[in-house]
Amino acid sequence: MIGPSTLLLSIPLILRYPRSWLIFEVLLILSRRPGRSSLSLITRPLSLLPGTISPPRWFLLFDIILRDELRKRSSWVLSLYGAGGSGKTTLGLFLMDKWFRDDELAFFRYPPKAMASLPDRMRCRSKSFTRMDQIIGSPHLVFLDDTALHFLSRQTSNKDNQDLVKQLTIARHNNQRFIITAQNSILVDKGLFESLDQFSLRCRMTDFQARTERPEFIDTQLKVNDLISSLPETKGRYWYCMESGELFCFPGWPDMNESLSKPYQGVTVSNGQLEGL
């Protein structure tokens, strides 16, 4: 049943329907959580033809394309791109908690303090690992937070994780799934995950940051910026999925804390090694 808050949410979106170059449908997703319902907003761009405009259409949908695609595939990587403080880590933890609540989780080189700060329902199915042989053969969903901290490419990876970097190129052979975070796609060697089905979520970036993206993503990121900046402010954060054409407004994650939002606080990098974990 649609409540008054749902109807009120539609008013500013319709009044502020932006940009003559964008046609989109607005989809309301009622994602169910134990004990209560929460509202997530999705917009699906239909066309980027200049000079065309159409009012949004509203309807309820209980299928989320991105989530369903990830659940039905055996090997993939979901990349979360955004500047520091944009909520990448929070989003990664939210997705593992809400979308993959029955999966075993593996955190790459995650500090013990951060692991201990996970809510009980996640900690009981989570492990930290430093070598690929610790998770090969098991159906873990792997979280690589701040990917550039661990490796940039095959050439710039340090001795400590070269095996992991090489293993990523054959990840499909082992039905592996990854959620990774990075401030910019230019920081991640796009060949690392070439064997996997690739998906991404992008938040609004500054124009400067958007123009330092990989050339093939700059135009898309600038359009994502325009779309998100034209939407009403919300307590959640907007994230756009290029592959499914969905714009999500994810709610906050109530279990977030300082140890999880800054898991590498106090950690230093020396000669390619992480110290203070």
For 166-195, the pLDDT digits (tens) are: 777 788 888 889 999 988 887 777 677 778
Measured between alpha carbons, how far is 189 from 242 in angstroms, rounded to an integer?
19
What's the pLDDT band for 228 if we cut at 50, 70, 90?
Answer: confident
Q: What is the pLDDT of residues 58-101, one digit of tens each?
A: 333 457 889 999 999 999 999 999 887 888 999 999 999 999 99
Let me know if 1 is exposed, middle or buried by CB neighbors in 10 A (0-12, 13-18, 19+). Answer: exposed
Cα 47 to Cα 23, 54, 197, 212, 224, distances in angstroms: 5, 10, 24, 25, 13
Q: What is the pLDDT of residues 119-157, one digit of tens each?
A: 999 999 999 988 878 888 778 999 998 875 665 445 445
Walk me through the domains of the chain, giving residue ranges and CATH numbers.
Answer: 4-256 (3.40.50)
pTM of the model: 0.76
Mean pLDDT of the chain: 74
Give the residue with greater pLDDT, 95 vs 25.
Answer: 95
The first and second tokens of residue 129, run together, are: 């690992």
